[in-house]
């Protein structure tokens, strides 16, 4: 193995516990490819406890956030997870929610109060044109107001306020809008990639790389040659653990060399060929090394992560790579 290949996963710093891949939405920008079409599978109580137990042993862990899919779809399990983290002495930074359940202020307030009583201290409420294809803005605003009542303004993060402001000014809050419709109301050109400028935090991977590439500059697959991913894959400041216990590092869902049973396995080219190829040379090495029969899209790719996902899908369709998991992530 070349000397630069990491030998194990570095200590974990901060990350999300994905209680499910199931969601009320199937947002076009979802990096984790969550969907309303996925099974309503939630992390089991036993796995939650095992996860918290494993995280409690991490010497550099700052905190975690609770996430999905939409974690509130199983309130009982979410509350279990909050309590389990507290039992294990793990700090929960916030719960991420899309506020789809905030039909009226009382419902929202009751829901947030139950979570606060379980030990939650903050929430992050997502708002975007992508979410608005499924959730009317009125629910989002109801959720924000109720969350401020329960957690205080310091305990509520709106992701993002700038987007909320623009949507509030131009969209009917009582109904959903297709992305095409909202773009028209906001004077955005979807075909020119304007939604990327409005939501400037988007990552060009996952479903965004598949569904939102119009108007973005593309490059031939070969041009990503030499763009290695070792540093990203070693980054544990925004890790995720999925409902099956798989660990993702970097911002690389669908690639997992570790799980809750062993968060720091020895990484080797024989056992983890995909990870090692990516760490050493990026997606072009992955293609050349493990998928020489892969035919890149002649239209090109908006990012190396876009190419990476395409090569990985090809690998999964043609071979057995334990690291490319779980099925949910790769399912259409």
Min. distance of Cβ 57 from ligand SF4 in angstroms? 26
Nearer to ligand SF4, 68 or 111 (CB): 68
Neighbours of 111 (CB within 10 A): 21
> Measured from the CB of residue 278, what is the shortest distance to ligand SF4 in angstroms?
4
**Between residue 272 and residue 291, which ones bind ligand SF4 under the rule CB under 6 A?**
278, 282-283
Task: Determine which residue in the list 17, 27, 66, 95 makes contact with ligand SF4, applying CB under 6 A.
Answer: 27
Q: Which of 252, 263, 291, 324 binds ligand SF4 (CB under 6 A)?
A: 252
Query: Given candidates 164, 221, 308, 324, which one binds ligand SF4 under the rule CB under 6 A?
Result: 308
- Does position 30 interact with ligand SF4 (CB under 6 A)? The reply is yes
Residue 302 neighbours by CB under 8 Å, 6+ apart? 204, 209, 213, 216, 217, 218, 219
User: Cα 68 to the chain's mean position, in Å?
Assistant: 8
Asked whether position 305 contacts ligand SF4 by CB under 6 A, the answer is yes
How far, rounded to the nearest angstrom, does the alpha carbon of residue 165 sit from its chain's CA centroid?
Answer: 24
Binding ligand SF4 by CB under 6 A: which of 72, 84, 98, 246?
98
Count of residues that bind ligand SF4 according to CB under 6 A: 26
- DSSP category for residue 305: H
Q: Is 68 a binder of ligand SF4 (CB under 6 A)?
A: yes
If one counts every other C-beta atom within 10 angstroms of the C-beta of residue 67, the result is: 23
Would you list the DSSP string of 7-59?
Answer: SSPPPP-EEEEE-BSB-S---TT-TT--BTTS---B--HHHHHHHHHHHHT-T
Extract the tokens encoding 88. Answer: 């294990």
Rounded distance between C-alpha atoms, residue 276 and residue 271, angstroms:
9
Binding flag, residue 70, ligand SF4 (CB under 6 A)? yes
Rounded distance between C-alpha atoms, residue 125 and residue 161, angstroms = 10
Stretch that binds ligand SF4, among 47-55, 79-87, 184-192, 229-237 (CB under 6 A): 229-237
Report the nearest approach of ligand SF4 to the CB of residue 87 (Å): 26
Give me the residue label for tokens 């400041």.
Answer: 237
Residue choice 26, 44, 107, 176 for contact with ligand SF4 (CB under 6 A)? 26
Binding residue for ligand SF4 (CB under 6 A) from 143, 245, 250, 296?
Answer: 250
- According to DSSP, residue 270 is labeled T
d(CA 319, CA 206): 21
When asked if residue 300 is in the footprint of ligand SF4 (CB under 6 A), the reply is: no
Q: Which of 20, 25, 246, 256 binds ligand SF4 (CB under 6 A)?
A: 25
**Per-residue string for binding with ligand SF4, 182-221, x by CB under 6 A?**
-----------------------x----------------
Binds ligand SF4 (CB under 6 A): choice among 15, 69, 111, 243: 69
Q: Is 187 left (phi over 0), alpha (psi -120 to 50) or beta?
A: left
CB of 18 to ligand SF4, least distance (A): 9
Nearest to 204 by CA among 309, 132, 131: 309
* 186 prior amide bond cis, ω within 30: no
Binding residue (CB under 6 A) for ligand SF4 from 65, 199, 272, 304 = 304
Residues near ligand SF4 (CB under 6 A) are 23, 25-27, 30, 32, 34, 68-70, 98, 126, 131, 205, 229, 232-233, 250, 252, 255, 278, 282-283, 304-305, 308
């Amino acid at each position: 193995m070349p000397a630069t290949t990491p030998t194990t996963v570095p200590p974990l710093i901060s990350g999300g516990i994905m209680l499910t891949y199931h969601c009320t939405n199937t947002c076009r920008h979802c990096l984790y490819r969550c969907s309303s079409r996925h099974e309503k599978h939630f992390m089991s109580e036993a796995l939650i406890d095992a996860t918290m137990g494993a995280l409690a042993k991490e010497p550099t862990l700052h905190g975690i956030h609770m996430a999905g899919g939409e974690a509130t779809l199983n309130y009982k399990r979410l509350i279990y997870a909050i309590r389990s983290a507290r039992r294990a002495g793990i700090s929960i930074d916030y719960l991420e929610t899309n506020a789809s359940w905030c039909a009226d202020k009382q419902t929202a307030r009751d829901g947030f109060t139950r979570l606060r009583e379980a030990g939650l201290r903050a929430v992050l409420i997502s708002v975007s044109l992508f979410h608005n294809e499924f959730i009317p803005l009125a629910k989002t605003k109801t959720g924000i107001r109720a969350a401020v009542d329960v957690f205080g303004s310091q305990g509520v993060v709106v992701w993002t306020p700038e987007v909320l402001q623009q949507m509030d000014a131009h969209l009917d809050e009582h109904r959903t809008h297709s992305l095409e419709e909202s773009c028209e109301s906001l004077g955005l050109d979807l075909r020119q990639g304007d939604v990327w400028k409005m939501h400037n935090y988007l990552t060009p991977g996952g479903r965004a790389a598949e569904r939102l590439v119009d108007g973005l500059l593309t490059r031939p697959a070969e041009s990503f040659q030499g763009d290695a991913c070792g540093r990203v894959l070693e980054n544990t400041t925004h890790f995720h653990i999925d409902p099956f216990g798989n660990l993702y590092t970097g911002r690389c869902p669908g690639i997992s060399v570790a799980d809750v049973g062993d968060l720091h396995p020895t990484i080797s080219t024989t056992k983890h060929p995909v990870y090692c190829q990516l760490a050493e040379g990026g997606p072009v090495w992955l293609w050349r090394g493990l998928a020489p029969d892969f035919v890149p899209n002649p239209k090109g790719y908006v990012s190396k992560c876009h190419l990476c996902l395409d090569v990985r899908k090809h690998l999964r369709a043609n071979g057995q790579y334990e690291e490319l998991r779980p099925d949910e992530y790769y399912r259409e």
